[in-house]
Homo-oligomer: A and B are copies of this chain.
């Protein structure tokens, strides 16, 4: 049974805090094993990757077969049913249309002192996408990671997706094909992350690695961070639904379950201003759990981490939502836009009862890689900006340097950085001497 809380209860505050601080993930300690794998890949390159793939994925590869050939990809893609292909193409087009609007603008201006200032955005040269094997091998995640990179203008985009026992997912390969991925390596785990970060004889290193993965992949990403850029380390998925009584309890139940079915550690929370509606949703969840395919997973998540919170009014719900800072926030209320304006911290907001969160997972357009574990307080979902970087530009004229150089020199002296000051001073002296000569002439 999920927790039932009511903001009018005397013990609400400590119980709500406990809910916020609930530890949902018990990641195994794999850091030492991962460190050894990375060192091995750095030392032996392809040989290490091949040996580790044989050990973990029971798959024998050679340097020549590390990547799928163009023929293998074409053959796999042909197997995808037309309806799935059309759905994936539709999703890719919508995700692309959304992300194209995220392309940042360069800026150049001249300030009153005559200094030219600005900045310039450029894409990273190469990005690598990690795609898990098995249950969490989602074609939608390929689109969500690769399309922003493609839109950013990344020149070389590669993917690593393990194929345990040689089994691959044709839809994942199609998604890669649709989103501009050049090469797909059939490797996984920490060895794949190490190969993308440091390169091997066959695999050229990339500059940025993104994508979900298990504890080994997460630990490897943490370790190679600095050598390459990484996206955030995602925790278990979460949804918060704020719903008033004018909703179908079954719809809200399905929305809650669509997070819960991801993972036993996922968390689904309902906040409502109507206790009876909250109970009706909980009953609808139980009913759906009787038949849901993934009822074991969804049921465990709902039982261990689910919650139904009754509040006095929707303003109170907005305040609690900001304390939760949910990854996904659904606002099923009469004025969802108005309520959203009271809320600051959320990865993605789904407005109104016709916007189930699942739309955002696949086809809405916004990215589904979103900040978890309350990190929406300080971070954002994946975007085109994650595959770009900004170079600042400054150009002084002699006039500008005369105007602002002396202040720089003063600050350099105050920080005891003499050469900093002298580098400005030497130029100002030249300008002053030139003026003196002009004065004499």
Which chain A residues have a beta carbon within 8 Å of chain B's beta carbons? Answer: 83-84, 86-88, 90-91, 94, 97-98, 101-102, 107, 109, 111, 115-117, 119, 122, 124-125, 135, 138-140, 171, 207-208, 226, 228-229, 233, 248, 250-251, 254-255, 257-258, 260-262, 288, 292-294, 298, 336-337, 340, 344-367, 370-371, 373, 375-381, 383, 385, 389-398, 400-401, 404-408, 410-412, 414-424, 426-427, 430
Residue of B140, B250, B358, B411 near A140 (CB, 8 A) is B411
* This chain: copies in complex: 2
* A418 with B292: CB separation less than 8 A: yes
Shortest Cβ-Cβ A-B pairs, 4 listed: A229-B378, A366-B392, A351-B395, A254-B423
Q: State A364–B395 Cα separation when bound (angstroms).
A: 9
Partner of A407, one of B86, B351, B401, B416: B86
5 pairs from A and B in contact (CB 8 Å cutoff): A261-B420, A340-B393, A354-B401, A357-B423, A367-B392
Q: How far is the CA of A250 from the CA of B414 in the complex (A)?
A: 23
A139 to B407, CA, bound (A): 13
- A88, A98, A419: residue with the most chain B Cβ atoms closer than 10 Å: A419
Min CB–CB distance A349 → chain B (angstroms): 5
Contact of A404 among B94, B207, B383 (CB under 8 A): B94
**Which residues from B are CB-within-8-Å of A87?**
406-408, 410-411, 414
Chain B hits for A346, CB < 8 A: 391
- Chain B residues closer than 8 Å to A352, beta-carbon distance: 395-396
Are B426's CB and A365's CB within 8 A? no
Q: How far is the CA of A238 from the CA of B254 in the complex (A)?
A: 54
Determine which residue in A88, A257, A367, A378 has the highest number of CB atoms from chain B within 10 A of its CB, and name it. A378
Residues of B within 8 A of A101 (CB): 107, 109
